Amino acid sequence: MSGEREITSFVAHTWLCDHFGHLNVRHYAAAFDDATFVFWSGLGFRPGPDSPMPVTLEVKTSFRQETQVGSVVRIAAQVSKVGTKSVGLTLTMRDAGGDVLALCEVVEVFMDPQSRRSCPIPVALREALSEAAGPMPG
């Protein structure tokens, strides 16, 4: 995928795995949630208490392969859509060999912390997101 960049990694430790020796579903969710925060930080976005902030509106996770205990896992992010008030992200979890373990599609909506309503993405951030996304399909 063009525009995809690795943003974080972790180890599937025994205590994160179920009785089958596979990463438990709850820990995929935590890993993808952490990756979203790492993504925003990587863009240099650090909202203040009164500035618009992204909140997760929707998450869809697709599991492709089992993540075995002891696996070193990497997560990459790609901006899939930039709207006026929302951003679509695709997070891809891969093993050390590059095989896709899981995909997570996230929709983040910007919210005004005072009114608790959606608001436009700050202009400079929207430009950075559009640049990170690269050319969007027609």
Residues 6+ apart with CB under 8 A from 34: 8
Quick one: DSSP state of residue 138? Answer: -
Q: Give residue limits of the domains in the chain.
A: 5-133
Q: Is 34 helix (H, G, I), strand (E, B) or coil?
A: helix
Would you say 12 and 70 are in contact if contact means Cβ atoms under 8 Å apart? yes
Single-letter amino acid, residue 75: I
Distance CA 6, CA 77 (A): 6
pLDDT (tens digit per residue) in 20-34:
999 999 999 999 999
**Quick one: residue 116, left, alpha or beta (phi over 0 = left, psi -120 to 50 = alpha)?**
left
pLDDT at 1 over 50: no
CATH 3.10.129.10, domain 5-133, yes or no: yes
| pLDDT on residue 134 | 64
Would you say 45 and 66 are in contact if contact means Cβ atoms under 8 Å apart? no
pTM over 0.85: yes
pLDDT (tens digit per residue) in 59-94:
999 999 999 999 999 999 999 999 999 999 999 999
Distance CA 1, CA 77 (A): 10
For residue 89, give both structure tokens: 């992200």
